[in-house]
Structure 1
Amino acid sequence: MTHYTPEALSRAVAAVCPDIRLRIDTGTVSDERHLWWELSCCILSSQVPYSLAMAAADAIDKHGCLHQDGQDSQGLADRLFDLLSAPLDVEGKTRHYRFPKARAGHLAATWTAVTTAAGSLNSLISGLTANDMRTWLVAHAPGVGPKQASMFLRNCGITYDLAILDRHVLNYMSAQGIYSGGQASISGLNQYGRHEKTLRDHAQELDCPVGLLDWAIWIVMRVANRKQEASSI
């Protein structure tokens, strides 16, 4: 939590929102390979740095594991485990992924669920609303909670009306007096939806879609925390 006033934080967030609008690509991702890369990143980024998740997703994409027909779930999980166990180049440094077995299983099970339900990720997305797609992912994709599902749908340009309630956003909401929970993350979809609605109301006050507001909050809170840490040295 920062020592900045709620008013200062909301002003900073409101100032960043227009820049976020200008940066986003308004097109929707429909390429199957790109969709799987984005979903892989969201699954792989849980409890690890996003740069490491991207490197792991790149390794999986390079070998085409998630866009091949006629493979069984266990065989896919084994191939993914081998890839996630190998050293990864992350910004010029060799790193190892933290949860190779668990995430390999999550990705393989997700691939099986998607292909069984609709044949492809693009077909599944095309047949559902954004909110229903998030619900489906939470129910059928192991390792995907509301936050990861919302991130996937935003990163693919499918919707900017769902929020990514990470610890930075929840800390901001606490500072604004609109969140009193003690959790650093919210996993239940119903509870998540209630807090998301609260943030959506706040987003309307700042005239910014909630899916972009949380991005602006993430930027502002990270900067505020760094400045606070620097001033305390």
Structure 2
Amino acid sequence: MTSYSAEALSRAVAAVCPDIRLRIEEGVVSDEHHLWWELSCCILSSQVPYPLAMAAADAIDARGFLHKTEGNQEDLAERLFEVLSTPLDVEGKKRSYRFPKAKAGHLASTWAAVAGTGGSLKALISRDVNDVRAWLVAHACGIGPKQASMFLRNCGVTYDLAILDRHVLNYMSAQGIYSGAQTSISGLSQYGRHEQRLRDHAREMDCPVGLLDWAIWIVMRVANRKQEAVLV
């Protein structure tokens, strides 16, 4: 938790929000190839540094897995495991992915769930965003409300869903709109209640909640780093 005041944090977040708006690309990502890359990153980034998750998603994508795959879930899981077990190039260094077997299984299971609908990710994201998020949480292995919300935001589908990570929850605690001890919220119903509180806060700041949480993430990381530097 940062020692900065609620007012100072909200001022900093308000200052960052316009820059976040400028960074958004117009339109929804609808290419099946890119959609699977985004969803892979969200699944692979749980408890893993995001650059490593991106490198893993790149390696899977380079082999045409997920968006081109035909066959069965078990074969796909084996092929994914082989990719994730191979050291990856991450920012000029070789890194090993932390959970190759588990995440290979999660990705293969998610692929099978999407294939089982008789459709595609492109068809899936055309539905109501709340229904899509609920479907992902229920059927995409390794995906919780936070990861599902991140996928939909990163694809440009919606900016009305929040990514409630530990930085955002700490900010909410500082603002007095979250009093829980949890640093992550897994249940969709509970997640929705806390998301609505942040959405109300976002409305007061005249910023879509899906962009506000991005600004919060930036501000809180900087604030925490500055505080750690002072303590050293």
Normalising by the residue count of structure 2, what TM-score does the alignment of the two structures yield?
Answer: 0.99
For residues 71 and 167 of structure 2, the distance between their equivalents in structure 1, rounded to whole angstroms, comes to 39
Partner of 1:182: 181
Partner of 2:219: 220
For residues 31 and 187 of structure 2, the distance between their equivalents in structure 1, rounded to whole angstroms, comes to 30
Q: Which letter does structure 2 place at the counterpart of 1:214?
A: D
Divergent runs of 4+, >2 A: none
Partner of 2:165: 166
Alignment deviations for residues 130-163 of structure 1 (CA, whole Å, 9 cap, x no partner) = 1110000000001000000000000000000000
Partner of 2:56: 56
Secondary structure of 1:186's aligned partner: coil
Gaps of 5+ in 2: none
Secondary structure of 2:97's aligned partner: coil
For residues 227 and 95 of structure 1, the distance between their equivalents in structure 2, rounded to whole angstroms, comes to 28
For residues 160 and 211 of structure 2, the distance between their equivalents in structure 1, rounded to whole angstroms, comes to 8
Alignment deviations for residues 189-212 of structure 1 (CA, whole Å, 9 cap, x no partner) = 000000000000000010000000
Alignment deviations for residues 5-35 of structure 1 (CA, whole Å, 9 cap, x no partner) = 0000000001100110011112100000000
Aligned-pair distance for 1:119? Answer: 2.4
Aligned-pair distance for 1:71? Answer: 1.2
Q: Which letter does structure 2 place at the counterpart of 1:110?
A: T
Partner of 1:153: 152
Q: Judge conservation of contact 1:160–1:211 (CA < 8 Å) in 2.
A: yes
For residues 155 and 183 of structure 2, the distance between their equivalents in structure 1, rounded to whole angstroms, comes to 25
Q: Judge conservation of contact 1:115–1:121 (CA < 8 Å) in 2.
A: no
For residues 2 and 93 of structure 1, the distance between their equivalents in structure 2, rounded to whole angstroms, comes to 32
Partner of 1:205: 204
Q: Judge conservation of contact 1:160–1:212 (CA < 8 Å) in 2.
A: yes
Aligned-pair distance for 1:120? Answer: 1.3
Is residue 12 of structure 2 the alignment partner of residue 12 of structure 1?
A: yes
For residues 24 and 125 of structure 1, the distance between their equivalents in structure 2, rounded to whole angstroms, comes to 18
Is residue 89 of structure 2 the alignment partner of residue 92 of structure 1?
A: no
Matches within 5 A, 1:27-106: 27-106=27-106
Alignment deviations for residues 51-87 of structure 1 (CA, whole Å, 9 cap, x no partner) = 0000000000000111224310000000000000000
Partner of 2:128: 129
Cα RMSD between the aligned structures?
A: 0.7
Aligned-pair distance for 1:124? Answer: 1.7
Q: Which letter does structure 2 place at the counterpart of 1:157?
A: G
Aligned-pair distance for 1:231? Answer: 1.0
Alignment deviations for residues 209-229 of structure 1 (CA, whole Å, 9 cap, x no partner) = 000000000000000001101
Partner of 1:112: 112
Q: Judge conservation of contact 1:118–1:124 (CA < 8 Å) in 2.
A: no
Gaps of 5+ in 1: none
Partner of 2:230: 231
Give identity over the alignment, percent.
78
Secondary structure of 1:223's aligned partner: helix
For residues 124 and 177 of structure 2, the distance between their equivalents in structure 1, rounded to whole angstroms, comes to 35
Normalising by the residue count of structure 1, what TM-score does the alignment of the two structures yield?
Answer: 0.98
Q: Which letter does structure 2 place at the counterpart of 1:62?
A: A
For residues 15 and 134 of structure 1, the distance between their equivalents in structure 2, rounded to whole angstroms, comes to 30
Q: Judge conservation of contact 1:73–1:109 (CA < 8 Å) in 2.
A: yes
Secondary structure of 2:185's aligned partner: coil
For residues 68 and 232 of structure 1, the distance between their equivalents in structure 2, rounded to whole angstroms, comes to 51
